[in-house]
């Protein structure tokens, strides 16, 4: 019975995750790509790439939930880290400094 309950909760997308993804899509060109990355015990990360090249993310409990979020958001399309997806991403100097951490400052 616990297995059945877990599979039901995996398919339910958290309302907050869906709303966050909807705001991202509407704020960055009315369409976006989504790459769901499995983080193991940490859950899953939905990497969002807007039509304008903006980068965002949403954390969810597992990859199945991530896929469910993608399916529920109009204008959000499931993608993989291929050449087209990577080329759609625009990373500015400020974001590069944040990724590099304190050593870059």
- In tens, the pLDDT along 14-52 reads 999 999 999 999 999 989 999 999 999 999 999 999 999
45 neighbors 57 (Cβ within 8 angstroms): yes
Residue 64 tokens read as: 């199945």
pLDDT value at residue 5: 42
**34 vs 54: CA distance, rounded Å:** 12
Q: Model's pTM, two decimal places?
A: 0.80
| Total length of the chain | 105
pLDDT value at residue 104: 67
Asked if pLDDT for residue 6 goes beyond 70, the answer is no
Asked if pLDDT for residue 9 goes beyond 70, the answer is no
């Amino acid at each position: 019975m616990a297995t059945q309950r877990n599979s039901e909760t995996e398919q339910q997308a958290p309302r907050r995750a869906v709303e966050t993804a909807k705001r991202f899509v509407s704020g960055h060109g009315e369409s976006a790509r989504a790459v769901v990355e499995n983080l193991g015990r940490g859950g899953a990360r939905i990497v969002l790439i807007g039509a304008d090249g903006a980068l965002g993310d949403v954390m969810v409990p597992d990859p199945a939930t991530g896929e469910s979020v993608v399916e529920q958001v109009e204008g959000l399309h499931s993608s993989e880290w291929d050449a087209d997806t990577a080329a759609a991403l625009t990373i500015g100097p400020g974001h590069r400094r944040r990724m590099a951490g304190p050593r870059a400052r």
